Amino acid sequence: MKHAFLTAALTAMALSFGTNAVHAQTKEIKLGCYAPLTGQLAIFGKSMQQGFEMAIDEFQKSPKANAIKFTIQCEDDQGRADDGINIARKFIEDKTVVAVLGSWSSTVTLAAGPIYNQARMVNITPISSHPDVTKVGPYVFRQSLVQSQEGAFNGDALWKLGARKIAVIGIPNDYGIANTSLTKKAFETKGGKVVFEEMVRPDAQDFRQTLQKAARENPDYIYIGAFAPQAALMLKQLRQMGIKTPVYLCAALDTPDLARLAGADAVEGARVTVQTNPVLSPELADFYNRFNARFGRAPDPFAANSYNTAMMLMSIAAAQHPNVTRESIRKGLDDIRSFDGIFGKIKFDPATREWEFKLMQGVIQDGSTKVVQ
Amino acid sequence: MDAFVLGQLAIGVSVGMTYSIVAIGLTLIYRVLSAANFAHGEVYTIGAFTTLIGATTLQLPLWAIALLVLAVGAAFGWGIERAAFRPFRKFTDEASLKSRAVREATLLSSFALGMIVREALDQVYHGEWLAIPQEFLLNEPVALGSVTVSVGEMVIASVSIAMLLALQMLLYRTRIGIAIRAVSSNLVGAQFSGIDINRVIVAVFIVGSLLGAVAGMVLSLAYGNVQSFMGLTVVIKAFVAMVIGGLTSLPGAVIAGILIGLAESSAGIFLPSAWTEMVAYAMLLLTLLLMPQGLFGRRRS
């Protein structure tokens, strides 16, 4: 009896080796991913992960996949630098991983980036927008809107709206500080004046004191550089206090989460910088529909960016088949000059190693963004 | 007074009330056991999540949500006592009941229980911020002279005062209240006079947690957002209010909560508001150094 079982098991094993051999030409390429999947930032990390997974499934079905089977392994960094570093060491040890996507937070990417750079493995972030990310080294890339580009756009947009005095409210992390200070700089270069500026605690739930102080300076616009949970509370509280000062929102706030959390009334009429909205292109609109059908919710900018970056990484790898290595991916990313994805054709500047995105100004009406101009 | 300053102070009072409303349940439990219930923040979070589920998944009217929150809060309070406090009262002799080790153990066990609940909620909801449906929100503005307040703030204030009065009635006018005060002033003595201390302690946890859950409901209706980590920030301030108020005094905790809110908003007139976070802890330090029994505390043996 024992022998019969053993024979059966061995036969099964032999058969499974046999079937593997048939697919020998199918090469498997594994990508790593690190993002905050638990903890306070999990809402953003989940968007990234969904964007990556959708990209992999769709790319796999397209003819471009070139007989390569792509897989992704997502690790949770909880938004913490030390976890990001540990994950980096793990991915570097795993020789089947050819490149790593992530993270969400600039703080984590800036900590893990040097580890990848030293090990000569590509780390590309679709989100982290701190100016220093691409300065870490030749193996650290990003494909996301950079703060300097958004800041210049915001300053210009505010000026063109007729604003001469603005109040600036942000959150004190790498994102909020870079976003508000570069917007402020661009607006001041135009000749505008920042009459009030304050960083608020991201975990607070009452921002009325700050908002009332901002309104007292009679600004033409209040600029908010924060994420949806804080901005939603601010917009609700502005309405609650009867403050009628118009509001301009940073690009990260062009997300369905804002109207969901604040309610359509509170966001009505707010101006916002638009980068990933479905109104921008048929490709984006189509992406929105597919994402919605799959996950039952509209994608935010983080999901859209993650999808686009993963698509680019896979098309580089697929084109190099069968000679895909960690080094070849780095070269592919260095040599690329443009990528045609859901944002239309975006260009890579090899001098700054940054991508240039198309930005538009939007106004929120009936809970959704309409592009103006 | 300048309308701006008045407005800023009004915000301070209303933010202070949010500390007070959470501090009431916390202080009640401290008063009886001389031990802090570090799971109280999660009681508050559970109250907010119950409100959300009642309003969205279950589609209940407001009165039914309130009943559900009371029931869930009471059940959770019972659970906290059973899981994190009762197991440390194995021995009923005077030395064990008064032992510092037991108090420290329950502090850690309630902290652990709170963490488990928070992490579990985080796993289920992925840290997502969830919105209470607009029609339930209490944020219509109401003009009071030159100051605009919201319906929610008035509800927070009225519920805090109602809680305080109801608790004082319970403590000073009912049999269980007498038992609670007896247990609170002398655990061993109460036991010798025939009081079932376990029953009294369970009652205290049920009442304290029910109030914590109601605080979660009222604040989630006023601010509109619910998240698994929401209890953390609020409960720390409630602890500070409890200590400044004198640890065991319910009116003391309420007044201290309002004072903290007022101090924060007064500082905020001159400082960036992120800096005002330090004010509460500076007040805590000063209280501990200058008035160790707090504003309204009784001297303890």
| Cross-chain Cβ contact A41/B7 below 8 Å | no
d(CA A332, CA B96): 70
In chain B, which residues have their Cβ closer than 8 Å to the Cβ of A261? 129, 131, 224-225
Query: Which pLDDT belongs to residue A6?
Result: 55
Coil, strand or helix at B62 = helix
In chain A, which residues have their Cβ closer than 8 Å to the Cβ of B12? 209
Q: Is A260 on the interface with B (CB under 8 A)?
A: yes
Residues of chain B predicted below pLDDT 70: 1, 298-301
Query: Which pLDDT belongs to residue B104?
Result: 86
Give the number of domains in chain B.
1
In chain A, which residues have their Cβ closer than 8 Å to the Cβ of B265? 209
Which residue, A367, A217, A227, A247, is CA-closest to A302?
A227
**Domain ranges for chain A:** 27-145+282-342, 148-274+360-371
Amino acid present at A15: L
**Closest-approach residue (CA) in chain B for A237:** B139
Domain that holds residue B46: 3-231
Average pLDDT, chain A: 90
**A148-274+360-371 shares the fold of A27-145+282-342:** yes
d(CA A170, CA A224): 6
Q: Report, as an integer, the average pLDDT of A334-351.
A: 92
**Closest-approach residue (CA) in chain B for A265:** B134
Query: Which pLDDT belongs to residue B301?
Result: 40
Q: Is A216 on the interface with B (CB under 8 A)?
A: yes
Is residue A8 scored above 70 in pLDDT?
Answer: no
In this structure, the dihedral spanned by the alpha carbons of residues A123, A126, A129 and A131, taken in order and rounded to 10 degrees, is 40
Q: How far apart are the CA of A256 and the nearest CA of chain B, in angstroms?
A: 12
| Cross-chain Cβ contact B15/A263 below 8 Å | no
Location of structure tokens 């510092």: B100
Q: pLDDT for A61-77, tens place per residue?
A: 988 887 789 999 999 99
Sheet containing strand A27-35, strands side by side: A68-76, A27-35, A97-102, A122-125, A140-142
Indicate the pLDDT class of residue A17, thresholds 50, 70 and 90: very low
Is residue A13 scored above 70 in pLDDT?
Answer: no
d(CA A193, CA A185): 10
| Cross-chain Cβ contact A39/B127 below 8 Å | yes
d(CA A236, CA A214): 15
Helix (H) or strand (E) holding A264: helix A264-267
Q: How far apart are the CA of B131 and the nearest CA of chain A, in angstroms?
A: 5
- Nearest neighbour of A43 by CB, restricted to B129, B232, B268: B129
- Nearest neighbour of B127 by CB, restricted to A40, A216, A257: A40
Q: How far apart are the CA of A266 and the nearest CA of chain B, in angstroms?
A: 10
Query: Which pLDDT belongs to residue A27?
Result: 81
Q: Which tokens go with B45?
A: 């979070």
Is residue A188 scored above 80 in pLDDT?
Answer: yes
Task: Decide: residue A96, CB within 10 A, 0-12 exposed, 13-18 middle, 19+ buried.
Answer: exposed
Q: Is A236 on the interface with B (CB under 8 A)?
A: yes
Indicate the pLDDT class of residue A18, thresholds 50, 70 and 90: very low
| Cross-chain Cβ contact B131/A260 below 8 Å | yes
Q: 314-353 in A: which are within 8 Å (CB) of B?
A: none
Whether residue B289 is contained in a domain is answered as no
**Closest-approach residue (CA) in chain A for B153:** A240
Q: Report, as an integer, the average pLDDT of A327-348.
A: 93
Q: pLDDT for A229-285, tens place per residue?
A: 999 999 999 998 889 999 999 999 998 889 999 998 999 999 999 988 888 888 999
Q: pLDDT for A283-296, tens place per residue?
A: 999 999 999 999 99
Query: Which pLDDT belongs to residue B109?
Result: 93
**Closest-approach residue (CA) in chain B for A217:** B4
Three-state SS annotation for B32-45:
HHCCCCCCHHHHHH
Query: Which pLDDT belongs to residue B33?
Result: 85
d(CA A76, CA A86): 11
- Say if CB A112 and CB A87 are below 8 A apart: yes
Location of structure tokens 């490709």: A283
Q: Report, as an integer, the average pLDDT of A348-372.
A: 91
In chain B, which residues have their Cβ closer than 8 Å to the Cβ of A199? 272, 274
Q: Report, as an integer, the average pLDDT of A200-222.
A: 93
Is residue A15 scored above 80 in pLDDT?
Answer: no
- Strand A27-35 and strand A97-102: the pairing is parallel
d(CA B157, CA B153): 6
Whether residue B96 is contained in a domain is answered as yes
B40-55 vs B3-33: helix crossing angle, rounded to 10: 110
| Cross-chain Cβ contact B273/A263 below 8 Å | no
Q: Which tokens go with A146?
A: 């950079």
| Cross-chain Cβ contact A172/B274 below 8 Å | yes
Amino acid present at B92: T
To the question of domain A148-274+360-371 being in CATH 3.40.50.880, the answer is: no
d(CA A299, CA A291): 6
Coil, strand or helix at B226 = strand
Query: Which pLDDT belongs to residue A23?
Result: 42
B197-223 vs B40-55: helix crossing angle, rounded to 10: 50
Q: Which tokens go with A292?
A: 């919605």
Query: Which pLDDT belongs to residue B112?
Result: 95
CA angle, A245 then A247 then A251, to 5°: 175
Look up the CATH superfamily of A27-145+282-342: Response regulator (3.40.50.2300)
Which residue, B197, B151, B139, B283, is CA-closest to A240?
B139
Helical ranges in chain B per DSSP H: 3-33, 40-55, 62-80, 94-97, 100-125, 151-173, 175-185, 187-192, 197-223, 230-244, 250-270, 277-290
Indicate the pLDDT class of residue A368, thresholds 50, 70 and 90: confident
Q: pLDDT for A133-147, tens place per residue?
A: 999 999 999 998 888
Query: Which pLDDT belongs to residue A204?
Result: 87
Location of structure tokens 């040599």: A335
DSSP state of A121: -
- What is the ipTM for the molecules in this complex? 0.88
Q: Report, as an integer, the average pLDDT of A84-99.
A: 95
**CB within 8 Å of B94: residues ≥ 6 apart:** B188
